[in-house]
Structure 1
C-alpha cells in the first residue's frame, strides 16, 4: 500500500497542530518537569530558527550527540521542520567510533550536550557547525564554550513553516551498532516511521490519554520511533528518563499511571528483582513490550503473576518492528517473537540462495528471515553494494536464522553470522544458549565458535552464575562435563560445548544483546579479562548526570518549623513563594509571573503536572498531600491559604510541650524521695517517646511559670496515674 504523496507526514507539523488544539496537555515529563504541547512546539521552533539561521536546509544532516533529553526530541522535530535529516549518535561511543559515523554522514551541524563536547571536538570532521545545547532547555546556562562552539541565543527569529514531508523524504539516519563491522547509516523515511505507528496501533493501540515511559536510549529506533514518537503523534504523554535505574522505573510506572512501556529484558528483570515490585500498583500498565534479546520464560511468568503480559517483539533498525506476540498468545507461544504485523510479510529463505524471486521454505524448516513491509528502509547511505546485498524487490535479508510454525508464528534460532560450523554441520549458538541457560545456577550464557584444527570450529560456552550449595558446602561452578551431560538429551553431540569459560560478566551492547565480536576477539587473543567484574564499562556521561531517584524528597523549607510563630502576612508570603517556586520547577515554559488571583487551570497545569506539583509541594512543606490537591482549589490564593493553614496546624503541639522545660527543672530540684524522682523521670521519658512518635515537627516554645503542683497535676493528666 502506498501513502498518497499529498499526505503530510511531518512530525513537526503534527506537534504544531496539537499545540494549537490542546497546548496545555502534557506532552513530556522529563526528570520531574513537565512540558505541554505548546511548550514543546515552542522549543522545537526556536531550535529550528537557530539551525536555519546557520544555513541548515533540506537534506542536510543534523547530528545529535547526547543522552535522553528534551533537546533530543526537539532536535528531531526541528530537523523535520526544515526537511533536514536527523542523525542520533550512540552516546556510548568513543571519539574514534563517532568519527566513523560523522565521516559517513557528512553533517552540516552537530547539536551536542555540554558533557559530550570533548568527544564531538575529537570526532568532528572540521567543516560541521558546532552547537552546544543543554539537554534540558530550561537549564541554567553555564560558561560559554570557546569558539567555534555556538550556543542557543536568548531569543531567536521566527521559525520557517514546516517543510512538506511525504512518505519518501528521509527522516533520519539510524546507524547500525557495528557489531558485525563498520556501522552503516540506515535511511529511514517519514513513510517508514508513519507506517510503523500504524502497524503497532493495529496490535497495541496508542491513544491521546496514554502515558509512555521511555528509559531505553533514544538513539535506538524502538524507544524513539515505536514509543516516544508514536505517543507524541497521537497526543499522549511521554515520561522520559535520562537513564535507567530499576527503583526509579518502578516508581514511575506507579506514580504516573504508565500505560505503555518498552525495555530490554535485562531492564524488566532488574525491576522484577526490586523489593517493591510485588506491592507496586501497576494496574494502569496495558502494554509492556520487550525486544533486543530473548526474554526468559521465568521473566515472562514473573510479570504474568502481576497481571502484566510481557510481550515479545521483533525488528531491526532496517525494518523497525516486524513481528509482535499478542498478549493472549503468550501462554501458548512464549518462545515465539510473534506474528507478522498487519502490513508486514515474513518469509524464510535458503541463506545461500538469492533473495530476488526466492521462494519461502515450508513451515518448521530453518532458514534466513526476510521481511517486506512499508516500514523497511530504502537502503544504506552511500553504500550501493551493501544495499544490493540485503535489499531486493522490497524485501530485506535480516541475517537472522529462524522458522515459521504452521500457524505463522516466528521463532528465532540464531544470527546467520553467529552460526558455528562444526565439521560441516551448522550449530546455532542461540539454540545451545537456550538449553544451557536452564542449567541450575547459570545466570547468563553466551556461545560462540572458535577455530579448531580438526573440525573447522568448536563450540565454547561462557557462563556466569553463583556456586550452588552442596551437602558439604558450596560446590564449584558447573564443569564442562556437567554442562554436556545436562544438554546431551536435547542437543546433538556436535552441538555440545567443548570448552567452558566461567565469567563474572558477559559483554553486552547498549540494547542488551550479547557482544559476540568482543567475546570472539577475547578468546582469540587468549585475554579473558573482559569477563572480569572489574571490566564492566564505566558509567557513561548520561548515567553520571542522572539525578537522584524520584523517591528522594525535595529539601524542606528552612522556615517551615517556625512558621506558626510568624505574623499571618509573613506566613502567607513564605508559602506563596514556595508554591511559585514549585510551579516554576514543574512547568517548564510556563508563565514567568504568577499572581494570587490566577486560576490554577490557566497557568498550564495539566493532570500529570498537577500530580507532580502536589508531590513537590508535599516534599517541601512536609505535608501529606493527596494527588488531587491542585484540582481542589480554583486559584493560587486558595491553594496558598489551604497549605498555610495545614502547615500552621501541623506545627501546633499539645500543651505539655509548653511546660516540659519547667517540668524537667521541677523534677531536678524537687526534694522528693529518690524513688519518686526516678519514677517521674521514667514517666517523662515515656511522654517524650510518645510525642516523638507523632509525625509533626517538634517546635520549641517559651516556658511558662507554673507551680510544682501545676506541673505534677499536668503530668498526671497527660499520662494518667502511675
Structure 2
C-alpha cells in the first residue's frame, strides 16, 4: 500500500521545490526575550537558535527520525508524545510519527504534573519527546511509571537525546524514502486533548484524511502561495497551530517560521524583518499586538491575511487592524473538526467584522439533523459533518456516541445564519470558558476545588475580561477558618494549569439551585459580572 499520509508530505514536496526553505526557527532579539503573560514555563530551547531546513533536508531528517523511533519500538498505531514549545523539532516529530503510521500526541505545555501524568496514562505513548523548558516537569511526572519506554530530550547530544537519535540513523534517508510502512488516509494521525465535560481531558482522534481535507478546506478559502512566509505562533498542541496556517503553507511549499512562544514585540518585528504573509491567532493575541507601543509604526505591508478564532475580537481591535490595511479573517472551528468549520473570505470580511464567514469546502453544516443546509435567517445549535470531522474520542466510545446525532457532530454552540449565508456565533450551549484562546471547563476546576480540605462545594462561571476575553469566577462554600481567596488560588497552582485558575474567588454560604438540585449558573454569572464590574457575558 502506498503512503499518502501526512508523513509523506516532506518527501513529496521535496520533489517539487526541495531547495526552498520549509521551516525556519528565528532567534528573538534580546529586547523581546521576556515571556508573555498567561503562564509560560522556563527558558529557550537550545533548538531555538536561528536555523532553517529546506524541504530536502526536512525530508531526510524525518526519514531518519522515523527509523530511530522504529528502533525504540514505535509501530503502526503506537503513540509518540511531544511536550515542549513550538520548535522545528515539533514538526519533525509530527511528520516522522506519521511516516510510521503511529499517532502524534502533543501535550499542552501549561499543564501541571498531575495533568500530564493523567494524559500519559490515557494515551500510553511509547516515546515522550520533550523540550528543555519542561525537563523539571518531566522528572516530576516520572514517565516510566506511566508506561513510557523512552524519554527523548530535544536539548543536548548525549545518549538517548534527540540529536543522538538522528545521528545514529545518519546513514538512512538522505532524501530517499526508506521507511516501509503502510499508511492509509483513514489511519489515525493525531490525538489532540481538549478539556472534557466530565472534568478530565479527552483526546480527539484525527485521521490523516481529517488533517489533509482540513488543509484543502483552508486553501479553498485563502490563497496560499509557494512564496509565502507564514508565522507559526499558535501552540502546536492546538488544532489551530497545525491546521490553520502551518500545514497549508507546507503543503504549498512555502516557509513556516516557528516562534517558540507569543511575544507581541517580537511578532511585530518579525513581520517586518521576515516579510511575514500570514499567521493565525486568538483575539487576545490580536489585542496585545495592537496595544503594543510598536504597532502604529510597525511595517505590516507584507501581511496578506490574518486568521483568528476562539471568540469574536473586540470591534476596536478589528478596527485597529483594518486601519493598518490588514485583512482579518475570523473563523469558527473545534478540535474535533481539525479544526475548521467556517471561515470568512477576503471578499466581504471587512464589511462583516464579527461574522465567522461561510462553511468550508468539504464541510457540511446544519442547524437541524437531516437538513442539508441552514435556512437563511435562522439560528440553532450547529451540527457539523465532513471529511475533516473526527471519528471520535480516544477510548471514549460512550462519550463519542453522545456527541453525534444521525452522523452529525453536535457543536454545543448556537449559530445564526444571515440572509447572505454568512454566519454568526450567538451563544454557547455549554458552560465552557474561553480564556486567551484556551478552553476552560468549569467542571474540571470545580472537581479540583472540591477535593481541597475544608471545601464543601464550588461552582465556576466565566466573566468577561478586557485582556483574556473571559476568566473564571469561583463561588466556594468552605470552612471560613481554612481558606482565604489568595490561599485558595495558591493551592490550585500545581494542580491546574495557570490559565484554568479562577481570577476571582467569592466565599458564599450556599449555591443557588433548581428544584432538581442543579446549580443555577445563570444566577451566578449575573452575580459574578456585577462583582467583576463587567457586563453579563452569557
In structure 1, the partner of 2:20 is: 25
Structure 1 position 322, deviation (Å): 0.5
SS at match of 2:134: helix
Alpha-carbon deviations, 1:536-591, whole Å to 9, x = none?
A: 99xx99xxxxxxxxxxxxxxxxxxxxxxxxxxxxxxxxxxxxxxxxxxxxxxxxxx
Is the contact made by 2:431 and 2:461 (CA closer than 8 Å) also made in structure 1?
no
In structure 2, the partner of 1:134 is: 154
Structure 1 position 258, deviation (Å): 1.0
Task: State the alpha-carbon separation in 2 of the partners of residues 162 and 283 from structure 1.
Answer: 45
Is the contact made by 1:96 and 1:123 (CA closer than 8 Å) also made in structure 2?
no
2:238 pairs with 207, 220, 224, which one?
220
Structure 1 position 158, deviation (Å): 2.8
1:514 pairs with 456, 466, 470, which one?
470
Is the contact made by 1:370 and 1:398 (CA closer than 8 Å) also made in structure 2?
yes
Alpha-carbon deviations, 1:182-203, whole Å to 9, x = none?
A: 1111110111111111111111
Task: State the alpha-carbon separation in 2 of the partners of residues 385 and 266 from structure 1.
Answer: 35
1:170 pairs with 185, 188, 213, which one?
188
In structure 1, the partner of 2:172 is: 158
Provide the TM-score with structure 1 as the length reference. 0.56
Q: Structure 2 vs 1, CA of residues 359 and 208 (structure 1 numbering), >3 Å: closer, same or farther?
A: closer
Task: State the alpha-carbon separation in 2 of the partners of residues 460 and 21 from structure 1.
Answer: 51
Alignment of 1:88 onto 2:106: yes
Max Rg structure: 1
Which of the pair is proportionally richer in helix?
1
Alignment of 1:38 onto 2:56: yes
Task: State the alpha-carbon separation in 1 of the partners of residues 271 and 20 from structure 2.
Answer: 20
Task: State the alpha-carbon separation in 2 of the partners of residues 376 and 71 from structure 1.
Answer: 27
Task: State the alpha-carbon separation in 1 of the partners of residues 65 and 117 from structure 2.
Answer: 24
Task: State the alpha-carbon separation in 2 of the partners of residues 115 and 272 from structure 1.
Answer: 29
Structure 1 position 99, deviation (Å): 1.5
Structure 1 position 58, deviation (Å): 0.7
Alpha-carbon deviations, 1:295-326, whole Å to 9, x = none?
A: 11111111111111111000000011000112
Q: Structure 2 vs 1, CA of residues 524 and 151 (structure 1 numbering), >3 Å: closer, same or farther?
A: farther
Is the contact made by 1:379 and 1:391 (CA closer than 8 Å) also made in structure 2?
no
Q: Structure 2 vs 1, CA of residues 531 and 249 (structure 1 numbering), >3 Å: closer, same or farther?
A: farther
Alignment of 1:401 onto 2:414: yes
Q: Structure 2 vs 1, CA of residues 461 and 100 (structure 1 numbering), >3 Å: closer, same or farther?
A: closer
Alpha-carbon deviations, 1:41-96, whole Å to 9, x = none?
A: 22222211211111211111111111111111100111111111111111111111
Alignment of 1:418 onto 2:431: yes
Structure 1 position 261, deviation (Å): 0.8
Alignment of 1:50 onto 2:68: yes
Alpha-carbon deviations, 1:650-687, whole Å to 9, x = none?
A: xxxxxxxxxxxxxxxxxxxxxxxxxxxxxxxxxxxxxx
Structure 1 position 21, deviation (Å): 4.1
Is the contact made by 1:522 and 1:528 (CA closer than 8 Å) also made in structure 2?
no
Identify the structure with bigger relative contact order (alpha carbons < 8 Å, sequence gap 6+).
2
Alpha-carbon deviations, 1:396-424, whole Å to 9, x = none?
A: 101112222222222112221229xxxxx
| Matched positions, count | 444
In structure 1, the partner of 2:4 is: 9
Is the contact made by 1:57 and 1:84 (CA closer than 8 Å) also made in structure 2?
yes
Structure 1 position 274, deviation (Å): 2.1
Q: Structure 2 vs 1, CA of residues 155 and 335 (structure 1 numbering), >3 Å: closer, same or farther?
A: same
Provide the TM-score with structure 2 as the length reference. 0.74
In structure 2, the partner of 1:268 is: 286
Task: State the alpha-carbon separation in 2 of the partners of residues 183 and 195 from structure 1.
Answer: 25
